[in-house]
Structure formats: structure tokens, C-alpha cells
Amino acid sequence: MSDKVIITCAITGAETTRDMQPALPITPEEIAQGAFEAYEAGASVLHLHVRYDDGTPTQDVAVFKKAIELVRAKCDMVIECTTGGAAWMTPEERLQPVTLNPEMASLDCGTVNFGDEYIVNTLPIMRQFAQAMRDHGVRPTLECFDLGHVYASHILIKEGLLEEPFHYGLVLNVPGAAKYEVDVLEFMVRKLPKGAHFTAFGIGGKANVDSIYGTLALGGHIRVGFEDNIYYSKGRLAKSNAELVERAARIAQDCGRELARPDDVRAMLKLRKA
């Protein structure tokens, strides 16, 4: 069990809209401000998706570059770029931000339902993503939405495409994939490689809060933010991403866990020196 807990904030995502959550950061400027507030509240990793100014999700390198520069000007958060993108994007499109050499990036470990949509991740696509991340010195977060994805990650490890320390993102409660239930999480954690770090989170209000307690009990890390959940409590929208981070930080500290700051994350996950 790691003693320090990493809080990742997924502040924008690809699915949440301003109509659903009026405080959603959309432009690079808004993303940088939202990230900074989350950082001050205790988050050390920014899970980054970007949008065009009209709110459309994009994997456009220029928009990522701008957002990263603006975040960098405000704080030293570790930046994890998405390569999940949005449901309609091609693998080549999704992979683009890796060319900016972020410290971390998400690597989806299997095809998954996303409500009525789906994201395709065949083993050849996963190998291509893992190789690109190796080439750019990017630490992958191995995102698993289902148990089979954990086993798919074992194949990549066996093939030598991933290097230790491994960091998993266990994403539960996506409609059409595995639900967040504490025994499901516990079982998935048991199937991770020995010594792997993991960040586990349920999608949606109740699952999101429940999963903070579940992952802490199992020695894992936390992720909150508007990509995963827009509510503070039933029927009450969160005022900001930072409000969700503040609560997560409070719960972690109540459980006796110290918060990892960005340089702790760099040491724990052996990130490439930027």
C-alpha cells in the first residue's frame, strides 16, 4: 500500500456539456484556471481533454499545447493527456497529444461500451499506443473498464511493451461496462501485477463518492472531476472541480493518508524528467 495518495482531477472530459454543468472548463484559459484551483485543493495530476471554443472535443495538438502551456504557467501539476478522446475519433487522431511528450497519458486497455456508443481498442491499437508512449517517454495510465482489460494489459506486459512501475486507471460504472461495486473493484485490484499503482473511480455521483472510500481501503489513488461526475450530492451540482477535489482530499486525510504533491507523483511513478 502506498502511504501517499494521488488525487487526479479530470476537469473537462469529452461528454460533459455546459448545459449539464455550467462551471465546466472549456477553453484552454478556463482549463488552466480550473486545473490551478484543483491543484490548490490537493490534486496533483491533471487528466486533460481539450475542446474547441464551441465545446466540441478535439485531439488537436495545437489546442493541447496551448492548454499545457497555460497550466504550466500556473502550477507544476503532472499532466496526463487523454488518448481515449471521444467515441467517434480514429486511433491516429486519439494518439496525437502523445507527440507533445506529456509526463503521462491514458491508454485504454480494451474495447468498451460507452452508453449507446463504444470505443474500439483492439490489441494492435493498444500495442501501437504503448509503443508510441515508450518512444516519447510517456508513462501510460492503463485504463481498464472491465476485467478483460486487466488481462489484456498482462499481454502487453508479457510482450515487453510496458515498463514498471505500472499505473492503472480502473474506470467503473460506465453504462454498458462493469459497475462500481466494492467487490468488483477488489477483485480487479487482485488481478493487477504485484506492486502496481492504481487509481480507481466510479462514474456518476454516488459511485464516484463510494469509490473514494473503496480505493482508499485497497491502497489506491483517487480521481474526481466533471468528466466523471458533475454532482456534489444528489440533485446538487458541484460548484467547481475544486469543490470535488476538496472533499476527496478531506476524506483521504481523514483516512490517515497524506496527499502526494506533484513531485511525489513523479518519484512514485518514475516519470521522465521533463
Residues at the contact surface with Zn ion, assessed by CB under 5 A:
82
Tell the smallest beta-carbon distance from residue 78 to Zn ion (Å). Answer: 15
Best CA proximity match to 265, nearest among 217, 218, 222: 222
Phi-psi sector, 72: left (phi>0), alpha (psi -120 to 50), beta: alpha
And the C-alpha cell for 172?
A: 467503473
Residue 33: count of CB within 10 angstroms of its CB: 17
> Angle at the Cα of 170 (from 10 to 211), degrees rounded to 5?
75
In the bound complex, what is the minimum distance in angstroms from residue 84's beta carbon to Zn ion?
Answer: 5
User: Residue 256 CB, nearest distance to Zn ion (Å)?
Assistant: 29
**Closest approach of Zn ion to the CB of residue 143, in Å:** 8
Place of cell 511513478: 269
Which of residues 149 and 257 has its CB atom nearest to Zn ion in the complex?
149
**Least separation in angstroms between CB 110 and Zn ion:** 15
**58/82 with CB nearer Zn ion:** 82
Say how far apart CA 212 and CA 5 lie, in whole Å. Answer: 11
Minimum gap (Å) between residue 49 Cβ and Zn ion: 5
> Which DSSP string do the residues of 26-74 spell out, in sequence order?
-SHHHHHHHHHHHHHHT--EEEE-EE-TTS-EE--HHHHHHHHHHHHHH
Q: Which CB sits closer to Zn ion, 105 or 269? A: 105
Among residues 105 and 150, whose Cβ is nearest to Zn ion? 105
Using the minimum distance from each CB to Zn ion, give the nearer residue, 210 or 228.
228
Cβ 4 to Zn ion, closest distance in Å?
Answer: 23
Nearer to Zn ion, 16 or 82 (CB): 82
Rounded to whole angstroms, the Cα distance separating 80 from 77 reads 9
Angle at 265 between CA 262 and CA 269, to 5 degrees: 150
Query: Which of 82, 153 has the CB closer to Zn ion?
Result: 82
For residue 154, what is its C-alpha cell? 498482462
For Zn ion, the nearest residue by Cβ is 82
The answer to whether residues 71 and 46 touch, using CB atoms and an 8 Å cutoff, is yes
